[in-house]
Each structure stands twice: as C-alpha cells, then as structure tokens.
Amino acid sequence: MRLDVQVLGKNVAALYRERDDYVLKYNAHANAADFVSLTMPVRDEAWRWPRDLHPFFRQNLPEGYLLNLIREQFGPLLDGTDLSLLAVVGAMGIGRVTVTPEGVAPGTELEALDVQHILHGDNTAEHFSQLVREYARAAISGAVPKFIAPDRQADSETMAMPLGKPTIRTSRHIVKGSDDSTPFLGFNEFYSMRVLERLGVAKVARTQMSDDGRALIVERFDVDADGLPAYGVEDMCGLLGLPPHEKYNSTTEKMLNAARAYLLDRDSVRLELEQLAWHLLSNYVVRNADCHTKNVALFYTSVDDVAFTPVYDIVTTQAYPRFAANPPGLPIDGRKTWAAGKSLERFFNTRMGIAPRHYAQMVEALCDSAVSVGHELIEAARNEPQWHTVAKQMLHAWDDGMASLRSPKKSLQFKGLKPAIEAAGFSAPEPAEKTREVIGRSPLLGKR
C-alpha cells in the first residue's frame, strides 16, 4: 500500500512500507517549505522508521472509543497496520498535512454539520455516539468521544471561493462529548479552561459549552477564518519520537528541551516559555492529571515562526472518583506529585527563566481566578441541579490545588474556596476509587 502525502493540498511525498521499515519519500518537485514535519525536512534521501509509522503520522490516529468505531465501520479496509488506518482517516484531521491512498485527492464527502445542533440539542451518550459514528472518518486522537465534521457555514463559504484556492472540506471546530466515567465533561472542561482564559495572559483555545453541559465545541487554531488548513501542528509526543501509547513516558524537562530546539526566534522565546509556564501551573491549580506529551504542542506556518499552540484539553480529572487519585501526568525533577513544593518553583527559575517572585505572582493570579470561576460554578450548579455533583467535586479539587501551590506559612492570608463551598451547602467530596487508573493508559499494559 502506498499513500500520497499533501501539505496544504499540494502532493509532496509518498508514504509506504518497505520490508520492516516505514518510508517517507519526498517527490522531486518538493521544496524546502513543503516539509511534512519539523523532524523530517525535505531531502533527497528517504526518511525511514523501523517497524511502525513515523511518530508524526501517528500523532492524530484515533484512539479508544473512536478507534473502535472505525474498526466496526471500516474493518474490511484495515489490515491491522497503522498505515491502513491512516489511509481511512488521513484525508481529514488536525494540521496542514493530509494523507490519502495513492492517486486520491484530499477532501471528504462528509455531510456538513451545524454546531448549533450540538450547543442546543440532544447530547446524551446514545445520541452523541451516533454522531461520532457518522463522522468517524477523521484523524483525531484522544480517549474521550470526539469528532471533526465539516462546518455547514464554512462549507458554503468554501464552495464560493475562487478557483486556485484549496478546496479541502474541513471545519472550524472539534466536537467533544462525555461518557459514563466522565459525566458532564463539557461542563468540566469549559470551566477548567476558563480559570486560565479569563486572565488574558496566555493563548487559550476558545470553547463553547452545550446547554446540557455534556458537549464542548472547541474552536480550531490550525485553520484560517474560512476553515481551511493554515498551520502545521505537532505534539510533543511525536517530537520526542514516542508512539501515542507512551505519551506519559517522558518528563517535563525532556518535553521542554525538545520544544526549545524549534523555538528559533530568540526575541519570542521568553514569551513562549511563559506560555508553557501558565499552561503547566493551570494543571496544578485545577488538578488536571491528564497533561501528557500529546496535550502540549507546537504550531507554525514555517520553521521561522514555531510557537506553542493555544492551551487545550485542561480538565479537572480529580472531579471524577475513578481518576481522583492520579498524580500529574508528567514528572518534574523526577517526581509525580501535586505537592511539588520548591521543585516546581526551581524548575520555573532554572529551566524557564521565571524568577521566584514572578512565579509567586503567577500562582496567586491563577488562584484568584479559580476563586472567581468557582463562584460561577456555584451559580451554574444552582441553576442546573444535574451539574451539582461534578461542580462540587471540581470546587474541592481546585481548593486542594491552590493550597498545594501556596506556602503553608503564608496560606492563611490568602482566600480559597472553602467559605464559598460551605456557604453553597456542598458536602464533602466523593472519595477516590481505590483502583488507580491513569486516563489514556490501558490497564492491560504490563507494569514498568
């Protein structure tokens, strides 16, 4: 099987298997700007990867729930390799690269979707699973139910564009749902992201929550205003050369070192490191144990403007008893603990150039924001009783997160969420389940 690889709709390379190697071979007419990945610039010699697809091509392959649906629907087209899976889903995904069977032009025949039907419609598990099934043919990673569908408005605009423009039918949105182990995940992620977003200090993906709190519409940052591919996107898992199932098998230090290799604009490096710093700190405040190497990424239009993407996928995992005992997804200074103490401050200072005083200011800004958004959570749960349990769990998790970052000697003078929690009449948090399970990691994998 041979696949064509396109960059912004231009056919630039072939992807195929040769004995035990997977091979990316650029076409003779490809120029330097047509690189598929930061790790694989254009050259005459082929790029080979042993035994499996190159990490770049694996970064957006479906996982978990979506992968099972694709196997159900497209089983006859799959031969058990990731190459055949990429042939099915590669025509539509995140970033500027598309992959299709040899001789097939990029594009999809999926029916356009009006996101208003998600925001104001039925997002129960049964109905949402039907939507995911309908739009399963897209390259998007992640363990929770999600999909990309051509946007109805974007589709009509694309059809009216002048000849010569790319005509890949895509979308300006990613649609994410909930499942039984993470109820009202849209509600959770919307308000968890809001803790950082409302400060206006870092780039954050724009989101909209459905009326029922079950679904989340995420505005894509890799496309232009017409919903057409504009940016390359590479997550740190791929840049570190790791397969997706090893997304937790790294460290924050390694991730930072890998990113710095591509941040070439010295004038903007300080700003980019601060972007990452806000992202990392936010995870500690809201207790998001699912920040791994696939949830931090770089984007670019060329090798000269590489930057961290807007922050995405921040969820209060501690709100769900099944995941409440999980530590941070990536260690710092060799430790995975929420009580990071001086090690986190030292990492920011020595590795990212953020002085202790500035670090303390960042912590307090996020804590103040968590208190403000916490009051919004309380009001939302008062108006919609079905959100009461997840809101209660989130509030307790945030209060724990704030306390673990602040100095015990000084914490008495800072306000937390306990008074608001008590005033709202919330009970103690539900206890964590004893069986420790890490989001995205199969319990069938052998122990390290």
Residue-wise pLDDT tens digits, 379-404: 999 999 999 999 999 999 999 999 99
pLDDT of amino acid 442: 46
Count CB neighbours of 196 within 10 A.
26
Contact 132, 64 (CB under 8 A): no
Q: What is the pLDDT of residues 299-317, one digit of tens each?
A: 999 999 999 999 999 999 9
Place of tokens 């909930």: 178
44-90 per-position pLDDT tens digit: 999 999 989 999 999 988 877 777 777 777 776 677 788 888 888 88
Q: How far apart are CA 356 and CA 360, in angstroms?
A: 6
Q: Which residues are paired to 7 by β-bridges?
A: 10, 97
Angstrom distance (rounded) from CA 288 to CA 101? 38
Q: What is the mean pLDDT of the chain?
A: 86
One-letter amino acid for residue 184 of the chain? F
Residues of the chain above pLDDT 70, percent? 82
Higher pLDDT, 140 or 187: 187
At 11, is the pLDDT very low, low, confident or very high (cuts 50, 70, 90)? Answer: very high
Report the alpha-carbon distance of residue 93 to residue 173 in Å, rounded: 11
d(C-alpha 19, C-alpha 40), whole Å: 21
284 three-class SS = helix
Q: Which two tokens stand for residue 229?
A: 């591919």
Q: pLDDT digits over 249-273, tens only?
A: 999 999 999 999 999 887 889 999 9
Please give the residue that has the higher pLDDT: either 14 or 416.
14
Instruction: Give the single-character DSSP code of 14.
Output: E
Tokens of 188: 């959770």
CA distance 445 to 437: 12
Q: Cβ distance 250 to 448 under 8 Å? A: no
Q: Kindly give the pairing relationship between strand 10-18 and strand 216-219.
A: unpaired
Q: pLDDT tens-digit profile of 212-225?
A: 999 999 999 999 88
Q: Is the pLDDT of residue 135 over 70?
A: no
Domains by residue range for the chain, with CATH: 2-177 (no CATH), 233-423 (1.10.1070)
Higher pLDDT, 108 or 448: 108
What's the confidence (pLDDT) of residue 119? 79
Check residue 177 and give its pLDDT. Answer: 86
Q: What percent of the chain has pLDDT over 90?
A: 62
- Given a cut of 60, is residue 160 above it in pLDDT? no
pLDDT at 151 > cutoff 80? no
pLDDT at 192 over 50: yes
- For helices 356-383 and 342-352, the axis angle rounded to 10 degrees is 120
pTM equals: 0.87
Rounded average pLDDT over 236-258? 95
